[in-house]
Amino acid sequence: MIHQRQCPIETIIHVLGGKWKPQILWHLIDSTKRFSDLEKLIPNASQKMLTQHLRNLEQEGIIERKIYPTVPPKVEYSLSDYGKTLLPVAEVMCAWGENHNKQEIREPAS
Amino acid sequence: MIHQRQCPIETIIHVLGGKWKPQILWHLIDSTKRFSDLEKLIPNASQKMLTQHLRNLEQEGIIERKIYPTVPPKVEYSLSDYGKTLLPVAEVMCAWGENHNKQEIREPAS
DNA sequence: CGGGATCCATTAGGATACTG
DNA sequence: CAGTATCCTAATGGATCCCG
């Protein structure tokens, strides 16, 4: 699964490029969330995909997963310090994307 | 195909997120290229995917396609002015990606 | 509660052949 | 030269059931 990417842009696209990853990160910005919280916040994501994306983000070091060995189990996800280095980048990406969404309805150049 | 994206990050990932799109853009930064040039520059991309990604980027307004009605045909691709607004964003993404590639071999935190 | 396992649908990407 | 068209495989995402 880990292969060399010729352009580092592909790296960040790979890290962020899962259908629900941006939303997951978005919800973790301000506070730690439990698995069930994320399920409620992102209701269209299936359990499987939520789990899978959370695992991916964890492997990349972006988020942290804390397990409380209680019954019933409790698992908390949070943005790691390293993950926070993504935020400024995400902001720039967001700004361009937001503008692009507006541009999409512009008239074609003559 | 056009659907609302809840987070604008998804927009830019959608625009850049094709296997060969970053490379296409990279090669168009400094100069206009013909289709056959891009084929040589990105030899692993199939004709089909190259065409498909070029069409996508054109539809998004990122690149321009100029057809010379000669025989044999000649088609030139170039970055549009609007496409150039992506460059600073791409740079930031690149920088993070580059650093991330180094981090990947770091030892896990204790 | 927070998953794992399994099976299915959709999409992305690739190989090859053909054409104006 | 710059593609289309067709067929195929791989990867992603989703639905459902089960379990400690």
Judged by CB atoms closer than 8 Å, whether chains meet at A8 and B98 is answered as yes
- Among A73, A54, A49, CA closest to A65: A54
**Residue of chain A whose Cα is closest to the Cα of B59:** A104
Specify if A91 maps to a domain: yes
In chain B, which residues have pLDDT < 70? 1-6, 104-110
Output the DSSP codes for B34-50: EHHHHHHHSTTS-HHHH
Residues A12-56: tens digit of each pLDDT: 999 999 999 999 999 999 999 999 999 999 999 999 999 999 999
Task: Give a yes or no: residue B85 inside a domain.
Answer: yes
Asked if residue B3 belongs to a domain, the reply is no
Contact: A90, B15; criterion CB under 8 Å: no
Per DSSP, which regions of A53-93 are E strands?
63-68, 74-79
Protein-nucleic contacts, chain B 29-48 to strand C, CB < 7 Å? 44-48
Q: Residue B13 is part of a domain; what is its CATH number?
A: 1.10.10.10
User: What pLDDT score was predicted for residue A108?
Assistant: 46
pLDDT at B105: 61
C-alpha A104 chain-centroid distance: 24
Domain range for B78? 8-100
Considering only alpha carbons, which residue of chain A is nearest residue B4? A101
Please give, rounded to a whole number of angstroms, the shortest distance from the CA of B69 to a CA of chain A.
20
For residue A15 the two structure tokens come to 């890290």
**Residue A66 in domain:** yes
Between CA B92 and CA B29, with CA B7 as vertex, the angle to 5 degrees is: 35
In a domain, A105, yes or no: no
Contact partners, residue B61, CB within 8 Å, separation at least 6: A103, B80, B82, B83
How many whole angstroms from its chain centre is CA A96? 18
Is residue A76 scored above 50 in pLDDT? yes
Q: What per-residue string of b and e applies to A37-53 under the rule 16 or more CB within 10 Å gives b?
A: ebeeebeebeeeebeeb
Q: Report the domain count for chain B.
A: 1
Looking at residue A67, the DSSP 8-state letter turns out to be: E
Question: Does A36 map to a domain?
Answer: yes
pLDDT of residue B4: 52
| Cα(A4)–Cα(B67) distance, integer angstroms | 35
pLDDT given at position B109: 45
A52 occurs within a structural domain: yes
Contact B86 A97 (CB under 8 A): no
Look at the pTM and tell me if it is higher than 0.85: yes
Short-list B49, B48, B59, B98, CA closest to B82: B59
| Residue B50 resides in a domain | yes
